[in-house]
Structure 1
């Protein structure tokens, strides 16, 4: 009976020379016996491929490409954040596209869980045990813009050449199901200096051509709770001054702090002035804070925008690092009052807000980064801001709209309805103390009432009916959710004497910075 494929039969003398101690006849240790028996079982269970199947032998393919044993060459490694897989993939594509370079891309099959193995470990396992064989390349389809996805290599070997240099690059993306939340690149080359240069050039391409540059992004938690990706891409808003209803002069102050500094960055730098700035917009819910930020985003198309809200504000560190790399940038922190007293998730002693302010200060004065903060409760933020002076350079109150503002809002949201001056004046007179969100809902409900009676147009009676509903006692919670403070609006109900008992604050209105909403966005 012949020996099985992949099983090597050796003589006792050769056996002792290869595995035993120097003194002939000395017994093997138990550890040595166990190791040899394991090798025997692996060889029997997974015999080496026959000659016709040698192209599936991963170690043989690498040896054939390199012209020498892969284990004889040094390996150099670099790692990136999990969300950088598209950037690393594209950087490799660009690097290999240069003149004088070429590559063949192959995949790997074998153990599912290989993320904790280095390239050297994989080669050793493939060579000794046939644990890994050549297979199809693994791809991950990832978004690189609001409307575009890219098939990125998530596990693949680039068998590369540059002139006389022959080398291997292993690219592996994150594997959330195994807790591996990073992108790794490993380079196996005869010259370590060559591998170092390759990784440095890849890193430069990652930064220069980042798919995040100039995008509007928000952090979202991973499905398995590891890392900070993926990002969600958003379309940049397209608002004009006609879409903004604020008291005279207020928008100009905000624009100068954010847009003005961006447009005059070179003059400020030449004069030794810092570019990093912080803007706080505060006021009752539903008055226009988020809408104002959307307007600013519309007029800074070259800025990368990173949005943090709710629990994602704990990612302020990575967000600031991304903003620094992709500046000019905007970091938007929505509803900061919600974290004013919250501790971080690592059991920190300071409120999370203090950590946010520390990260803002850590960027340095020369960073072309603007921080835009919104809050419904400036009183909760003020103590922290006073203790950390200089983080916020300008605080602007967005107040409830006055009569002129309410008339402008009704004209904005009700444009095309053909409402006459009489009904408009009536609405303005009855809605003192209401918000822009209230006006938007009033118009929507008026149109709905008209549609229910199958009318081709909205009549003044529809508006009155909608207004009566919204100001009625049964819609008190609705008003609060729209940012209206009880007691400010005319309830049109003489028996409703308890309105002033309710608290003057209101819950967050649910106004989202970049939600897909038709027509003008809520204030």
Structure 2
């Protein structure tokens, strides 16, 4: 009985394998999809050159737009078909799929579509898996367009170009690349990278709204903002001037100083001002995508690449036994762009002492470093008025708190006003109809400044131990062309001296 069962199972397995090898339709020499491709290309697939062009997952929408433009240029005879079948169509190339043991079952099917973001609130439909039949300068070509499928081992998107010769395939890729650059939906956007759970070196891209931080809302000593804006936001005239005389346009800015002093706030202002530039934000695990970010910045220049808390990656090699691969990736990205690339690298750190000197020793990596210190007394008054805008507060109260709060930060002032408003609400004070915030502001200042609030003040960026670390310079020391702790040229705007 067992022998009969085993013989039956063997015969059944052989039957299934035989059925899989047979074409399901059409003549003996090919499947419907294969026949369609050979009819379009005008030759057997064995005589066709195949060029696979990898794309970052976030460039699929640009490739979709570029291929649509290319199809339109071909005279309107282009069409797109799908690939029928099981999951194997997602993780095998078209050539492998058609030549595999189950290739005979591959047939024309519905095109797989997916949605892709084109802005912070906008999406469009793109081809996730499909075969485009079109022509390039009168020559029939086919392109298999694939989106990334990380769970099938495809972290990147790709274009498989089928053409009568290698030169035609290369020409198509070059044409698509140029159209992607020209019509990119990423150009001029604010973009954030997120690392992939499947592959740390790849990931997704998020469109972010461009922040709108007014110049008056950036509280820094006179001259600070002018110097930073001049360095980061080149005008067309400055860019052309530098290029005319062979000077590098690529530039790097390092903002360093204690936590809570307004470095991120300043970055948000610069991003808002760079309205025509593509902005790419990297932080945390997304630093693994620094090479992708640099390549995207190069393609979509003018661009600004923001590396937040760069000390977490670009630490001195002495702090990292065995070297720091991410540090080398950052250095490669900074050095890999051409000198005339209109790309600004904007880095922030709370721990400048941990930075690797190589990061800032070469122009084009960091050629301007700005120390954002704790605010001086005039800046503390301005910060307090800014955060209490629209709330009745007496000038004398503002002056007293500015006097008492030496060594604190912008974050401290923001929290002080928030607590005062909450305290006023609990006390039943009607701030909209004549009640003043003064007593609640004074009480909140007492709470935050007393020794019992030591930990809170430390978290908010103030000095420990109930004693301020000094009045603060108002936060402006600039070093040019050298490590901040080195002997490079520096400028202190608090007294205008070199």
- Whether TM exceeds 0.5 here: the answer is yes
1:84 aligns with 2:78: no
Partner of 1:142 in structure 2?
116
Partner of 1:333 in structure 2?
307
Partner of 1:307 in structure 2?
281
| 1:467 positional shift | 2.2
Q: Is the 8 A contact 2:155 2:199 kept in 1?
A: no
Superposed CA deviations along residues 464-494 of structure 1, whole A, max 9, x for unmatched, are: 232233224443322222111214657xxxx
Partner of 1:503 in structure 2?
none
Q: Is the 8 A contact 1:111 1:132 kept in 2?
A: no
Change (3 A) 1:304 1:71: same
Q: Is the 8 A contact 1:342 1:352 kept in 2?
A: no
Partner of 2:461 in structure 1?
483
| 1:264 positional shift | 1.1
Change (3 A) 1:63 1:256: closer
> Of residues 396, 399, 420 in structure 1, which corresponds to 2:370?
396
Gaps of 5+ in 1: 1-36, 491-498, 501-523
Partner of 1:104 in structure 2?
79
| 1:140 positional shift | 2.3
Partner of 1:468 in structure 2?
446
Q: Is the 8 A contact 1:100 1:163 kept in 2?
A: no
**In terms of Rg, which structure is larger?**
1
| 1:134 positional shift | 2.5
- How far apart are the structure 2 equivalents of 1:50 and 1:389? 65
| 1:231 positional shift | 1.1
| 1:449 positional shift | 2.2
- How far apart are the structure 1 equivalents of 2:311 and 2:137? 59
- How far apart are the structure 2 equivalents of 1:428 and 1:319? 42
Superposed CA deviations along residues 358-406 of structure 1, whole A, max 9, x for unmatched, are: 4313323222211111111222226445655663211111111111111
- How far apart are the structure 2 equivalents of 1:114 and 1:374? 45
- How far apart are the structure 2 equivalents of 1:452 and 1:405? 30
| 1:236 positional shift | 1.4
How many aligned positions are there? 451
1:121 aligns with 2:102: no
Partner of 1:521 in structure 2?
none
Q: Is the 8 A contact 1:403 1:429 kept in 2?
A: yes
Change (3 A) 1:263 1:40: farther
| 1:162 positional shift | 6.3
- How far apart are the structure 2 equivalents of 1:257 and 1:436? 24
> Of residues 172, 188, 213 in structure 2, which corresponds to 1:239?
213
RMSD: 3.2
| 1:355 positional shift | 4.4
Task: Give runs of aligned pairs for residues 22-37 of structure 1, distance below 5 A.
Answer: none
Change (3 A) 1:255 1:408: same
- How far apart are the structure 1 equivalents of 2:110 and 2:150? 21
Task: Give runs of aligned pairs for residues 56-67 of structure 1, distance below 5 A.
Answer: 57-63=32-38, 65-66=40-41
Task: Give runs of aligned pairs for residues 264-413 of structure 1, distance below 5 A.
Answer: 264-341=238-315, 349-350=323-324, 352-353=326-327, 355-381=329-355, 383-385=357-359, 388=362, 391-413=365-387
Change (3 A) 1:301 1:87: same
| 1:252 positional shift | 1.6
Deviates more, 1:401-410 or 1:448-457: 448-457
Q: Is the 8 A contact 2:454 2:466 kept in 1?
A: no
Q: Is the 8 A contact 1:274 1:365 kept in 2?
A: yes
- How far apart are the structure 2 equivalents of 1:408 and 1:226? 43
Change (3 A) 1:164 1:304: closer
Q: Is the 8 A contact 2:201 2:289 kept in 1?
A: no
Partner of 1:494 in structure 2?
none
Task: Give runs of aligned pairs for residues 481-520 of structure 1, distance below 5 A.
Answer: 481-487=459-465
1:430 aligns with 2:404: yes
Partner of 1:178 in structure 2?
152
| 1:179 positional shift | 2.0
Q: Is the 8 A contact 1:42 1:129 kept in 2?
A: no
Q: Is the 8 A contact 2:315 2:355 kept in 1?
A: no
- How far apart are the structure 1 equivalents of 2:339 and 2:358? 20
Tell me the SS of whatever aligns to 1:168. Answer: strand
Partner of 1:28 in structure 2?
none
Tell me the SS of whatever aligns to 1:273. Answer: coil
- How far apart are the structure 2 equivalents of 1:355 and 1:84? 21
Q: Is the 8 A contact 2:74 2:135 kept in 1?
A: no
Gaps of 5+ in 2: 1-11, 471-498
Change (3 A) 1:165 1:408: same
Q: Is the 8 A contact 1:308 1:316 kept in 2?
A: yes
Partner of 1:443 in structure 2?
417
Q: Is the 8 A contact 1:142 1:149 kept in 2?
A: yes
